[in-house]
Amino acid sequence: MNNFLLYKNKVLTFSKLIGLSSIGTTVQLLTSLITGKIIAVFFGSAGLVMVGQLSNMITIGTNLTSLGSRFGFVKIASRDSSKIFRKEMYSVLSFYLLLVGYFFSIIFIIFSKFLSSYYLLDEKYMSIVFLLALTLPLVNLFTLLNSVLNGFQNFTKQVKINIVASILKFSPLLLVFFIETDTYLLLLLIIIGNVFVGSYALIYGIV
């Protein structure tokens, strides 16, 4: 009887996780499709290209600032799943990522003119690169948070924060319906969306 109840609880938990994962995937897909549509309608193919290039820069930046630490956390986390250990590890790695992140941010700032010309095809976007450099460590905290939850196999919370993150990342783009925009503002809104996500990860980790 006890085995049957245990099996039943596992099945229910697994079913809830599948349902929640489906919702999360749907939200991420919808926000991505709507984002692409908004950019295509308001900014054309040039806007899509610029956002793609900015996304490449963000990916490179987050990979540099993490230095593989998030993958090491999963291995460490598997040894100890206590709440105190989780808080301590998240705090230590957050500090580490912010410290290393701002080191690479300085590199980005120094080469902002080159990065603007190479990735964004114009030196006038130097300030965008500058802002991106300042926010990279914060953005990387979201990746760390995902790794923390994955390391402790807390998949339900992981799906939930990804749903919230998708909405936060998408929300700044709604401003294009109310104000006059250009490509510069588009890139700025993309960065703001990522800052929302990073700030959410920071607050979530503190709480």
pLDDT digits (tens, 9 = 90+) for 73-109: 555 555 555 666 666 766 777 777 778 778 888 888 9
Angle (nearest 5°) at CA 23 between 18 and 27 = 145
Single-letter amino acid code for the residue at 77: A
The predicted structure's pLDDT at residue 179: 84
136-180: per-residue pLDDT in tens?
887 777 877 777 777 677 777 878 888 888 999 999 999 988 888
Per-residue pLDDT at 117 exceeds 80? yes
Q: Number of helices and strands (H, E) in the chain?
A: 7, 0
The predicted structure's pLDDT at residue 59: 85
Cβ-based neighbour number of residue 134 at 10 Å: 17
- pLDDT above 70 as % of the chain: 77
Q: What share of the chain is helix, strand, coil (3-state, %, to 5)?
A: 90, 0, 10
190 to 58, 182, 196: CA distances (angstroms): 10, 13, 10
